[in-house]
Amino acid sequence: MNAPNSITTWNSNWKTREALTLAPWGMHAEASLGRVHNELPHPFRSPYQRDRDRIVHSAAFRRLAHKTQVFTGYHGDYHRSRLTHTLEVTNIARTLARALGLNEDLVEALALAHDIGHPPLGHAGEDTLNELLADEGGFNHNAQALRIMELLESRYPSFPGLNLSREVLDGQATRRRDGRAPAPLLETQVVDAADSIAYDTHDADDAVELGLVTLEELLELPLVAEAAESVRARHGQLAGGELRRAVLHELVDSQVAGLVTRTLTLLAEAGIDSAERARAGAGPAHPRVVAPDASIAGGKRQLERFLFQRVYRCQRVLEVRQPAQQRLTQLFDWYAERPEELPPGFRGRADLFGARRSVADYIAGMTDRYLEWDHRRRLGGG
């Protein structure tokens, strides 16, 4: 077989692959609305492949390895970091995308980028920055991710930010949009669904590993109990860690399978035959096509309430969280009073966006361990 002998041949490969593999409701890269700053097309990578690569090579993505997912300050290396959570979301989202005939490159870019706006200390850090910026519009990790994509990352000489495709920017901007607004592309909906599956399941896993709750308590929840029944039907009476791992795998698998089945049914019933038509949803009762059915949604709500009450707001977690939040606040105030101490890029943007917003940009980019180190350097103590 002769090797391709022209750039045109290489360039056509991704277009041909998408034409052959995408369902009618999948988003074709050739139909992309482009980028804010015009660039020449790449000879053999699609726009969404380039987006994915830019995200993976960004400093914000690398820092996710040392940012808390939920459990701030806990010793051990079993529980998830923000990076491992992101990779798990990406795996689930890619599986959903392939089963539904969606654009896997776009889904992967959206999933890899979905949490790059998180500050150190997980949601504890986000809550603190939101309070500190109450008079400047607050702080939200989804909005901060867009800020990183469009402004804060500085890796290319021709434009600020990462200059990602408009579909990635729009997908990030519309994450968690309420049901009254038009739904985002199915690729974005898939990432939202994968994120929900991942954090519900894996936060429960980490909580058991850290001794915050027991497996027996989880098994009292209907969604978990149903997963355990399926496991026992296939494998018999498992116990301990073996049962926990099997149940958690089943929780992910059953939710993914349910989403695929329900979504394909809704797409067929609504006669959805294009990416744009998918954004209109499957009628008033189903504005988002990619969502769990009522029975699973109810079980997920019960699991999430349990995690909120018994894990995210438990005394052991708060005892570690509150001193960390205090250190973040102290460091924020220190820089807000001395904006000249910010690194040059952040210092330069303070004139445009205000000192407090620029301080938040700087601190939000820190890892947990860098926050602790900088606090000791600037303010002393532990």
CB burial readout 310-335, b (16+ within 10 A) else e:
bbbeeeebeeebeebbebbeebbeeb
CA-nearest of 21, 192, 195 to 104 is 21
Beta strands in the chain, from DSSP E residues, in sequence order = none
* Residue 35, SS3 per DSSP: strand
Q: What is the C-alpha to C-alpha distance for residues 12 and 268, in angstroms, rounded to an integer?
A: 30
Angle between helices 166-173 and 104-113 (to 10 degrees): 50
Q: What is the C-alpha to C-alpha distance for residues 229 and 288, in angstroms, rounded to an integer?
A: 30
Q: What is the C-alpha to C-alpha distance for residues 174 and 167, in angstroms, rounded to an integer?
A: 10
Q: What's the pLDDT score for residue 381?
A: 63
Please give the full DSSP string across 159-214, using - where no structure is assigned: SSB---BHHHHHHHHTTT--TTSPP--HHHHHHHHHHHHHHHHHHHHHHHHTTSS-
Specify the pTM. 0.92
Please give the full DSSP string across 201-259, using - where no structure is assigned: HHHHHHHHHTTSS-HHHHTTSHHHHHHHHHHHHHH-S--HHHHHHHHHHHHHHHHHHHH
Q: What's the pLDDT score for residue 317?
A: 75
- pLDDT tens, position by position, for the chain (382 residues)? 455 555 555 456 899 999 999 999 999 999 999 999 999 999 899 999 999 999 999 999 999 999 987 655 555 566 678 999 999 999 999 999 999 999 999 999 999 999 999 999 988 999 999 999 999 999 999 999 999 999 999 888 889 999 999 999 999 998 755 444 567 999 999 999 999 999 999 989 888 888 889 999 999 999 999 999 999 999 999 988 899 999 999 999 999 999 999 999 999 999 999 999 988 887 777 888 998 988 899 999 999 999 999 888 878 877 888 899 999 999 999 999 999 999 999 999 998 999 999 999 999 999 999 999 999 999 986 5
- The architecture that CATH gives domain 42-379 is Orthogonal Bundle (1.10)
Q: What's the pLDDT score for residue 181?
A: 56
The encoded tokens of residue 297 equal 């949604």
The encoded tokens of residue 15 equal 């277009």
Angle between helices 186-209 and 240-270 (to 10 degrees): 160
Angle between helices 222-235 and 240-270 (to 10 degrees): 110
Q: What's the pLDDT score for residue 1?
A: 44
Q: What is the C-alpha to C-alpha distance for residues 107 and 188, in angstroms, rounded to an integer?
A: 7
The encoded tokens of residue 75 equal 């010793």
Q: What's the pLDDT score for residue 311?
A: 86
